[in-house]
Structure 1
Amino acid sequence: MRGVSDRFLKTLRGSHSAVFRARVCTSFQTGTNPTGTEIPILPGSDVQCASTADIRATLNLTTSASWPRRAGDLLAPYGNEIYVERGLSYGNGQTEFVGLGYFRINAPEQEETPNGPVEISGADRMAGIKDARFLTPRQFASSLTRGQLVSTLITEVYPSAVIEWDDTGVRDAAVGRTVLADRERFDTLRDLVTSLGKVGYFDHRGVFVVRTPPDVSGAPAWTIDAGANGVLVKMSRAITREGIYNVVVASGEATDTTPPVWAAVADLSPSSPTRYGGRFGPVPRFYSSPFITTTDQARSAASVLLRKSLGLPYQVALQSIANPALEPDDVLKVRYPSGTRSLSLKTEAHIIDTVTIPLDEETPVSLRTRKQYGEQIGDVTE
């Protein structure tokens, strides 16, 4: 969860006044207070973030700002970004904003010409990485450090980009083998990060972050509850086995003299309905990367991919009073009535897969989560 004050979280549970801000930035900036031109935000706007999407965050914004008639106008889709925030006004002149990210303007539309509202779709900075395919196949030397390779892939597109790693030892180790990349810059970046057991994305500050995903059995970041002082508005749920796997096999590539390294990691939690070896049955997923050069790397990559599936059969859609600090992969405590006539509340732990933050006061935040059964994963063989 993004950093906010205790006062912010406490205020969300009572009567409060939400505030919103969108600034168009005409130069590349990083941080939570960029220089830009503020534009109005009309109801129906939102920011959606998804943990499994290639582009983690997208923007749908409706504004009364002027239609872009020239290439240099603010809302023209030629490189300008919109920095978006949602926050609270405390009634004493103080406000606390939560940054939601930088979004490249992709497509302004106007249904009612010439003076109607302008609808803008935007995407975070990963969209630029996906667009910037290599002009010719690229070869990267084995002596490059992982940090140098990530920096090359990012800064060729965004020369002023800031990159943060949660582990400098992983960052400063050599790639270990020569890698040939065909056309896709984004695929090369994602492949490298995944092979390290990490995730990589542009966060709300515009920083490219490389980190280990949060432990799904960690402490809850926020409680969504029914009843007095609760924030739960609506809840629906579904159970499915479509697209679920309970064991991941990750491998490297063979050389002329050695077979590929590999590791298989499975869901072994006794409380998990998709437990490997249980009645759910074995459902493997396979992943291969030239960046995987050791068994430990293969195990880390397999663990990251498996964590994205833990708990998936039980999916919940939630609507609650908007907390703009929530992010994908946050752990939630969800408390809801255990029965139609019951006053008692059932408590479950959930992991956020997607979160939609509205940019108006009337719309609740929408979340898609999966129930947490407790993590216990480990190596398996045939």
Structure 2
Amino acid sequence: MILVGDAVRHAAYERALCRGHGYESRLDVFYQGQQIDSLSLADDLAGGRVEVTARNRERRTLRLTAAQRRWPVAAASALSPYGVWGQAWVTITAGTVRFPDIPVWAGKLLTTGRVRWSGQVTVTGVDPMWQINREPFEVLRPAPRGMEVVSAILMLLQEVLPDATLDDRTGSTATIPAATAWDAGAGSRGKTIDELAASIGAELYAEPWAVAPGGQFVLRPVPTLLDTPAWVLPDGLESVVEADTQLQSGATVVNRWIVTSERTDRPLIREVVTDSDPASPTRYGGPMGRLTDFYSSPLISDNGQARAAGQAKLARSIGSARARTVRVIANPALEAGDVIAIGVDGEAPEYHLADSFDVPLSPDPASMSISTRSVGGTE
């Protein structure tokens, strides 16, 4: 969850979502690192949304509709797809109170289109990981032996975005093994970063705080249902839930991961990570059976690292047993991977991980559908 001010201010913001409130948005645009314009919902923007997903390297996609007079006439025009970057913000108001602006997207404008006489221009934008993915290794590249995985990830990011920063929340000190090479080819940089993060049980994504030549990235352990809920959806008179769809499925559950790393210069590393919680409906050897999958990476250098990678895989694979989609009053501060507590009609709250949702850029409608997953089922 993006913190809206300090803890007290954020709590007031969440209360405001349950009541009548205002919803504003704007798009700041940049060219070669300098801000060149700012477009507001009141004057230039007809609406749009930011699509957010926890499943892709590129987490946030902008889809925007603007006034036709904003059709770009030069490479440095505000909505030009030729090197212009942007940052979208949403602001919530409650009476005379104006809460701090919330960043919902930052990245590169990718396409701009129009249908003549329609009065509108349509724009799509991608987050900074798009640029990382599109600047690959052009030749086979030896990996820096002994460099910490976290440092290697930052190095690969800064080769594309020189002012990029990395918020490391893993505390990992794992290093890159000897005789490791990174393959060349389309998408090779993004794939390598994914593999480095997975080798320490982590995920990497861009936060919507900075534009080129910067970029603000987070490396964190893969979220689990044991994390503290970022948003408790209120029930009763202040409920923000407008619709609720639930699905239980065992089709994609994996309750045991066998993680290996096999290289010629060292003994085999093998770790087994299992859902062994006796209260878990997806437990290994329980009613669902022994559902095993395998993961191997030459980047894993010890058993502790293998265990962390397996735990990250397990967190995702047992969390697919129960899916739930809730349409709620839009909360632009929500992040993909946040744990939310959902309680409807007086039922006990369920903890779910937010997998995907769209943040609206206009108050019509100011609601969003959140696709979530959890552990569930009955015995």
* 1:198 counterpart residue number: 202
Partner deviation per Cα, 1:27-54 (whole Å, 9 max, x = no partner): 348xxxxx45112444551112211212
* 2:143 counterpart residue number: 140
> What is the distance in 1 between the residues matched to 2:40 and 2:91?
15
> What is the distance in 2 between the residues matched to 1:287 and 1:2?
32
* 2:58 counterpart residue number: 55
> What does 1:5-84 align with in structure 2 at a 5 Å threshold?
5-28=10-33, 35-41=35-41, 42-64=45-67, 66-84=70-88
Structure 1 gaps, min length 5: 30-34, 338-343, 375-382
Which amino acid letter does the alignment assign opposite residue 329 of structure 1? G
SS in 1 for 2:314: helix
- Relative to the length of structure 1, the TM-score reads 0.87
Partner deviation per Cα, 1:298-353 (whole Å, 9 max, x = no partner): 1100111111123312101110011111112211111112xxxxxx4342221211
Of 240, 244, 247, 1:235 maps to 244
Contact persistence 2:76–2:84 (CA under 8 A): no
* 1:285 counterpart residue number: 293
Contact persistence 2:248–2:321 (CA under 8 A): yes
SS in 2 for 1:336: coil
Contact persistence 2:256–2:291 (CA under 8 A): yes
* 2:272 counterpart residue number: 264
> What is the distance in 2 between the residues matched to 1:175 and 1:197?
15
Structure 2 gaps, min length 5: 5-9, 211-215
1:116 aligns with 2:119: yes
* 1:152 counterpart residue number: 155
Contact persistence 1:326–1:355 (CA under 8 A): no
Partner deviation per Cα, 1:90-133 (whole Å, 9 max, x = no partner): 332634211113121111121x2156311111111111111111
* 1:305 counterpart residue number: 313
Q: Residues 93 and 141 of structure 1: is their aligned pair in 2 closer, same or farther, counting only changes over 3 Å?
A: closer
Contact persistence 2:258–2:270 (CA under 8 A): yes
> What is the distance in 1 between the residues matched to 2:180 and 2:259?
17
1:347 aligns with 2:362: no
Contact persistence 2:196–2:299 (CA under 8 A): yes
Contact persistence 2:282–2:375 (CA under 8 A): no
> What is the distance in 1 between the residues matched to 2:249 and 2:375?
15
* 1:377 counterpart residue number: none
Which amino acid letter does the alignment assign opposite residue 347 of structure 2? L
SS in 1 for 2:157: helix
SS in 2 for 1:323: coil
> What is the distance in 2 between the residues matched to 1:25 and 1:285?
45
Contact persistence 2:61–2:125 (CA under 8 A): yes
Q: Residues 81 and 8 of structure 1: is their aligned pair in 2 closer, same or farther, counting only changes over 3 Å?
A: same
SS in 2 for 1:301: helix
Of 343, 359, 362, 1:360 maps to 362
SS in 1 for 2:331: coil
CA shift, 1:147, in A, is 3.5
- Relative to the length of structure 2, the TM-score reads 0.88
1:209 aligns with 2:211: no
Of 237, 242, 245, 2:254 maps to 245
1:125 aligns with 2:125: no
CA shift, 1:174, in A, is 3.2
Counting aligned pairs with the same residue, the percent is 28
Runs of 4+, deviation exceeding 6 Å: none
Which amino acid letter does the alignment assign opposite residue 296 of structure 1? G
Contact persistence 2:112–2:121 (CA under 8 A): yes
Contact persistence 1:40–1:63 (CA under 8 A): no
Q: Mean Cα displacement is larger for which, 272-281 or 15-24?
A: 272-281
Which amino acid letter does the alignment assign opposite residue 203 of structure 1? E
CA shift, 1:13, in A, is 1.0
Contact persistence 2:356–2:370 (CA under 8 A): yes
Which amino acid letter does the alignment assign opposite residue 230 of structure 2? A
1:331 aligns with 2:348: no
Contact persistence 1:146–1:175 (CA under 8 A): yes
Q: Mean Cα displacement is larger for which, 197-206 or 228-237?
A: 197-206
> What is the distance in 2 between the residues matched to 1:350 and 1:36?
41
Partner deviation per Cα, 1:118-154 (whole Å, 9 max, x = no partner): 1111111111111111111111131323233212211
Contact persistence 2:36–2:78 (CA under 8 A): no
Contact persistence 1:217–1:372 (CA under 8 A): no
SS in 1 for 2:76: coil
CA shift, 1:159, in A, is 1.0
Superposed CA RMSD in Å reads 2.1
> What is the distance in 1 between the residues matched to 2:350 and 2:146?
47
> What is the distance in 2 between the residues matched to 1:332 and 1:372?
13
